[in-house]
Structure 1
């Protein structure tokens, strides 16, 4: 009996609006070269990690300009990404705005209202693109949070009213690699039962980040996450982190044995699709990190082997 083909990474976040990853300062030529590199390894889905964070934005938004006296915009990255997604036959998911302020300070309705106005602007400006295939609600949680439930519920309703496209979230595990007060697998199950019971029917896809727990525990979390998603009618992807959380610096490309372990564990758990945070910095032959060039070669050898 032939072994199963490897479950490849077929989606990636696009991260140029971040608070902990350095900017590559790419323009249209560099991004086109990287989209070609993505397509060469089978990536068919790109997800804008967020359209803006605090006063940084991926396009010259009139809504965000009213919010910030100084709005830092490199160029129209949303338009560029949609054009490249069309050119390379990819689905583009639009990531919402993270104020970095309101939802962290209990002002959830302000976060919702701002995103509603912004996404109306976005759909008017970009909704004609045939590559615009989904929404990504960028507000990440690791346990049940009543305020963020309201963000998910109201924003999902609003986005479905603009365009009934697939809705993605990418939460994370409150694991030992990130938190001193990490929770157990059993507590994780209770928390996400509560979350999924609220968002079922609104959110379509959940892609848990996979880097916060020890490798020995990861298969159990992957199986549990898939079982919970199936129970509540969600599609289960896995957000395979291609950066390393085990090093004393933030964040180098992950070592190949670690990445391979996570890929194979996800396949064994029956995960539907693998996406990564994030190809361009950590897995690309064009990355600002030389180690990512080598990781790309190891990954391609594995796919071809």
Structure 2
């Protein structure tokens, strides 16, 4: 199974911004398309005082920093151009829901998503919603957030709704990790409550040891099928096992995780996230090498991006290869 989706995290929380403009983002979308990515998920379109565009709703509630580039329009336009489905990520205040004011978080997001649907709903690539509020266990208050937001989003635009929870595993919670059985019991309860307002669940895979990852993925896959949810997996392409926060993952570890996901029976592999940790244009040199190793593994000619990192040169190569691929496909269809 290949990685066919990625988050986009430019309104960042704990990783640096790439500070890309239109040229760099288009090159990155070409690089995604080249390896078969057909889905992008903006992890959040607003976080605290930053947003992907100058939102009237957010500006009326917060002292927002001006957005000099309308990134949402850019991402949607590029998705339209390259035939990629885009999932819109909601607003995370970073405070209300963390401090127990869940209704305030919901109300702001209702107004925010109405504004977005009115302004950007004409884009054909606008094909999904992503509720950005992550949990690792059953939380009755967040269940209410999911229900209210999910029903509201479906009323605005009846397209799939995605969440990407994390596992309460030993890599992040060494003092009190959740056992496999506890994880199963908790998420059985969660799925029973949200199956009517969420369509897709993509668990993050980075918080458990590699030796136990398959067991957790299998539980996730079986629970999704039990409640008729679509089960994806979020294959993290950053490394939690080193002291630096966070470099690209090493290639053998990524291979191990992709293999575990394939064997577990998930419906799709997405990643957090391509542009920082796997792109040939990444600010991290190791990500450029990771892209080439991945290309080799799926039978594509590598870009040698780890050696030559010039955006214009690599962009021209990708553009030529995409054009040739389209031409080959058209020729076959006419035979």
TM-score class, shorter-chain normalisation, is over 0.9
Residue 158 (str. 1) matches residue 152 (str. 2): yes
1:59 to 49, 53, 73: 53
Q: List structure 1 runs of 4+ shifted beyond 4 angstroms.
A: none
Residue 47 (str. 1) matches residue 44 (str. 2): no
Distance apart, 1:72 and its partner CA: 4.0
Specify the alignment match of 1:140 in structure 2. 134
Structure 2 counterparts to residues 284-295 of structure 1, below 5 A:
284-295=279-290
Distance apart, 1:71 and its partner CA: 2.6
Which is worse superposed, 72-81 or 224-233? Answer: 72-81
Distance of 1:301 and 1:257 partners within structure 2: 13
Distance of 2:261 and 2:296 partners within structure 1: 19
Distance apart, 1:70 and its partner CA: 3.5
1:188 aligns to what SS in structure 2? helix
2:217 to 213, 222, 225: 222
Distance of 2:13 and 2:297 partners within structure 1: 32
Distance of 1:62 and 1:198 partners within structure 2: 33
1:233 to 210, 224, 228: 228
Distance apart, 1:69 and its partner CA: 2.2
2:198 to 198, 203, 208: 203
Residue 130 (str. 1) matches residue 137 (str. 2): no
1:17 to 7, 11, 17: 11
2:298 aligns to what SS in structure 1? helix
Distance of 2:20 and 2:185 partners within structure 1: 43
Specify the alignment match of 1:263 in structure 2. 258
Distance apart, 1:68 and its partner CA: 1.5
Which is worse superposed, 63-72 or 143-152? Answer: 63-72
Deviation by residue 1:230-266 (Cα, 9 ceiling, x = unmatched): 0011000000000000000110000000000000110
Structure 2 counterparts to residues 169-184 of structure 1, below 5 A:
169-179=163-173, 180-184=175-179
2:216 aligns to what SS in structure 1? helix
Specify the alignment match of 1:4 in structure 2. none
Deviation by residue 1:122-180 (Cα, 9 ceiling, x = unmatched): 00000011000000000000000111111100000000000100010000000000012
Distance of 2:139 and 2:52 partners within structure 1: 28
Q: TM-score, normalised by structure 2?
A: 0.88
Is the 8 Å Cα contact of residues 58 and 74 (structure 1) preserved in structure 2? Answer: no
Structure 2, unpaired ranges of 5+: 301-335
Residue 97 (str. 1) matches residue 91 (str. 2): yes
Specify the alignment match of 2:78 in structure 1. 84
Distance of 1:279 and 1:140 partners within structure 2: 20
Is the 8 Å Cα contact of residues 58 and 64 (structure 2) preserved in structure 1? Answer: no
Q: What is the alpha-carbon root mean square deviation over aligned residues?
A: 0.8
Residue 275 (str. 1) matches residue 266 (str. 2): no
Distance of 2:65 and 2:101 partners within structure 1: 21
Q: Look at both structures and tell me which one has the larger radius of gyration over its CA atoms.
A: 2
Distance of 2:180 and 2:65 partners within structure 1: 42
Q: TM-score, normalised by structure 1?
A: 0.97
Is the 8 Å Cα contact of residues 64 and 118 (structure 1) preserved in structure 2? Answer: yes
Specify the alignment match of 1:3 in structure 2. none
Structure 1, unpaired ranges of 5+: 1-6
